[in-house]
Structure 1
Amino acid sequence: MNDSIVLDVNELHVNIHADREQVQAVRNVSFRIQSGKVLGIVGESGCGKSMTCLAILGLLHPSARITKGSISLKGQPLSKLSQRQLTRIRGREIALILQNPMTAFNPVLTIGKQFTETLRAHQSISRQQANQRAIECLKQMALHDPEKVLGQYPFELSGGMLQRVMIALSLAMNPSLLIADEPTTALDPGNKSNVIEALRTVKREGKTAILLVSHDLDVIGELADDVAVMKDGQIVEIAPAEQLFSMPKHEYTKLLLDARLVANSSKE
């Protein structure tokens, strides 16, 4: 296998048990992401995007399970690991950026305390070293006055600033894989632009593979090297971003792109 391949998802199937029947939430999904590359996954709500992410993270609901296929991180099969091993990997090797960053932070602790404690839980460094690393990473995310940010509580920051703090923390952990699940959905245009630039900074580092899940094709177009289009639990088209946007092959992809053009023209 190519050494630069960070994530390898092969023929993944996920079933959900509901009301005495099984629903195929994810069907025969396969893709790979190399370090320094961004794979965008697009599709309507309920198409299986988030379920695929949860399967990769080992965080499927008890009613859902992987019935077939494999998920490997840098050649290591994740499905064979214990929950303790997965927890360690989620903290160190796989970072997650959520749609609502407020849920990722403890509201009664300062950003600095949460940042440094997370770093020290996974790295053998002093509190002072962790604090310095936090300041460096916040600066990389273009957050002004990082010392002040570290002294603030989550509710004192905007959603866009919290997203950039979360990305900064991910950067500090040097993850192999960053999963960004609808990272710009709840943001205004200014904050959205800042978060896109922050993710671009991670991409430029060239060390981390990024799985970017979004229904916003403009965000995908800004960041993704390759794009996978999901519908009804399966990938109906996957191609380099430029090719997919200019010459879509599947009818569903064409519908998504047409809807994007209509939405953008209505903004003008």
Structure 2
Amino acid sequence: MDDNDYRFYTDGSVLNFKSSSVSTGLGWVQVDSDDFIVAHCSSSIRSDIPSSLRAELQSILSILEQLPNSAEILIFTDAQAIISSAPRVLSSEFSLKQLRKKNYVLWSYFRSLIFQKNLRVSFSKVAAHSDNDLNNRADFLAKDHLNSSSIYEPDISRLQDTLPMIPCFNNIQVDLDLRSLVKTRYEQIQFLNFCSLQRFARQSVSASLYSWKAIWGFFRFSLYHGASTNFKDHNFTIFRLKILFDRLPTLCL
């Protein structure tokens, strides 16, 4: 193996997904041409946007940051999404359409590192459940991130010349579709305003106990498909509003 050749097994992990104690981590092992482990890493990463793909991608980024210029690297991974997406990312220039894609900041950083350092990166798919010892080791290191004192965070300051801006919300980096984020945030604010109406004061229930997604879905549901000015659909919406506000006439005996 040449001095500029590197081989890694990488993995990412998400623990306690969809819970308040969610945590994410990365793990990788470096091997020589005889598959002997020469280095390894286990680290926690931020869980603002928990995702196994993001964890795997950051595992790769943590490696690329440390490689010397003009290095050649072979990455073994069981993440087909990484293998499929990498060539498209490397062959495309930045455009505003990328801001509509998930993980566009991390993928932009991936592309930037490779071109800035003149790296040659190739991937090899590890079959899932193949009981590959080296892949299992990387998986163990990723899941063992809770016992690691290391916290990895990509150095996105290198993207200043690539991305015109890196948006943040509440000091959290926004790495997903901005249009979807703004729409969702608007709906959340409207829902909180709705729950604060005086007519709901007697409920004495925290807004956190309501499902704002379910309520928005309730309003959007339609029995009638077709023109948006359908009068039957309009009357049905009024009926639902009266149910919600308890304003339907009742028969008193």
Sort the TM-score into its range (normalised by shorter chain).
under 0.3
Structure 2 length-normalised TM: 0.25
**Which structure carries more strand by proportion?**
1
Q: Which has the higher contact order (CA 8 A, sep 6+)?
A: 1
Structure 1 length-normalised TM: 0.24
Larger radius of gyration: 2
